[in-house]
Structure 1
């Protein structure tokens, strides 16, 4: 039988986006298993109901929120509903994201570009905008956003996705700096290659059996959501199991080209 001491998130309220499948679903189950009440946000009602069944069968509880994150007014309404019911939010997991089309930058359509930015960047900013007061109201607010190594690798044809994840990194680091003197800790989490639908779309020739699963990653969401987690504004890299700080770029002045333009 599970005791209270075995549930480190007992009594905590956790909101997870993209909770209907993949990493989000695994994170929601892990947080619920650790004692949190999960507010599960996703676009697919049926998948959310299946998640709810799994959470309830494990002895925990959830609130289901069918919501497309491009409905920004809907995010604001959700923030108001969470405030009305609990007056706080202890854990925010910004997981929902899309890959978009893999294409040369010059071939990306404005519509496709905007769709990636709307979900991967703007929706997460709207989450911060709506839930920052509630995270600050928690005695230990924890914000965890799922990033990608694509933000640094910048492979050919991955432009919209790479740019969106780099922007997400900057967004979360800025939020961490703004909340450093509060009880809020904001972290980025890089899952690396996992057996997900997005990974299969990006790497269709890859053998999924060679990859770790979202369930392997899920316990680390519980760690980062814990009251005793102290790092902020950093990235937790799941493939290595290490926390990395971002190094500040150094200004080295104008680049000398070796061309003497002479006087005018």
Structure 2
């Protein structure tokens, strides 16, 4: 746990989606340990309650927000509730997502394609739209959107997931260019192969013990939420510990 005397996010408010498991859960715990109040968003109420117990046992605080991100109006209500209670937002971790299906392009069912884009892309845009005004009110708003190496490798059978993550990176880059004169900093993160349920779904024959844990990966992502961050609109590759800054368009 972080040293209570040197907590880097003391007094800040941060939203974490997909907070009931995996990287989102690990990040929520770390953010709370650094002194922030975490608004934990996920579909699974039981997982959120377990997270809340862990955060409180470690001396942190959280607000649970059970929400299916396919509920677009619910995302809007979340933004309104944050505005009413705190009047601002200091941090966002847009982590929730789904794999969809690994399949030849021509074999992807329309309903699966549409649902995957709704959860991975449309909900991310809706979340950004809901909290952008609140992040602008922060003295040092920080946003992190989880991407994937699939967005760039575009391997066979990964077209659906790859396309959704590429779209999210495009949203982040444009958002960063719109806000680069403000205190707000927004970046994408490629966490790399991680020991999560989604990775097991995608690669069932893989030995999970060969992969870094969600806690290890989350610890590398956490600093992007600190006020010292100056980069915006880039992509942080956790596995390679490399930040790619994209040139601002003319």
Which bin holds the TM-score, normalised by the shorter protein? over 0.9
Alignment of 1:227-242 (within 5 A): 227-242=227-242
Once residues 18 and 122 of structure 2 are traced to their aligned partners in structure 1, the CA distance between those partners, rounded to angstroms, is 15
Q: 1:83 maps to what in 2?
A: 83
The alignment status of 1:199 with 2:196, answered yes or no, reads no
- Structure-to-structure mapping, 1:139-218, within 5 angstroms: 139-218=139-218
Tell me which residue corresponds to 1:262: none
Check the 8 A contact 2:221/2:238 in 1, yes or no. Answer: no
* 2:222 counterpart SS class: helix
Query: What is the CA distance between 1:52 and its match in structure 2?
Result: 0.1
Q: Structure 1, unaligned stretches of length 5 or more?
A: 250-264
Q: Distance in 1 between matches of 2:124 and 2:2?
A: 34
CA positional deviation for 1:220: 2.7
Matched, 1:28 2:28: yes
C-alpha separation in 1, matches of 2:3 and 2:105:
53
Q: 3-state SS of the aligned residue for 2:40?
A: strand
Residues in 1 aligned to 2:208 and 2:19: alpha-carbon distance in whole angstroms: 21
Aligned to 1:244: 244
Contact 2:232 2:245 survives alignment (8 Å) = no
Question: Aligned-pair distance for 1:6?
Answer: 1.5
Alpha-carbon contact 1:196-1:213 (below 8 Å) kept: yes
Larger radius of gyration: 1
Cross-structure match for 1:11 = 11
8 Å CA contact 2:95–2:146 kept in 1: the answer is yes
Q: CA deviation at 1:222?
A: 2.5
Does the 8 Å CA contact 1:15/1:92 hold for their aligned counterparts? yes
Are the equivalent residues in 2 in contact too, given 1:38–1:62 (CA < 8 A)? yes
Aligned to 2:212, what secondary structure does the other structure show? coil
**Superposition TM-score, scaled by structure 1 size:** 0.92
Aligned-residue RMSD, C-alpha? 1.5
Q: Deviations over 1:183-238 (max 9, x none)?
A: 11000011000000000111111100000011001223320000110000001110
- Give the TM-score of the pair, scaled to structure 2: 0.97
Q: Distance in 1 between matches of 2:104 and 2:3?
A: 54
**How is 1:81-160 mapped onto 2 (pairs within 5 angstroms)?**
81-160=81-160
1-side partners of 2:232 and 2:5: how far apart?
25
Task: Could you tell me which runs of 5 or more consecutive residues in structure 2 were left unpaired when the two chains were aligned.
Answer: none
Deviations 1:136-165 (A, max 9, x none): 000000010000000000011111100001
Q: Find the aligned partners of 2:245 and 2:2 in 1 and give their Cα distance.
A: 36
- The 3 A distance-change label for structure 1 pair 113 and 38 is same
Partner residue in 2 for 1:256: none
Q: Does structure 2 conserve the Cα–Cα contact (< 8 Å) formed by 1:191 and 1:239? A: yes
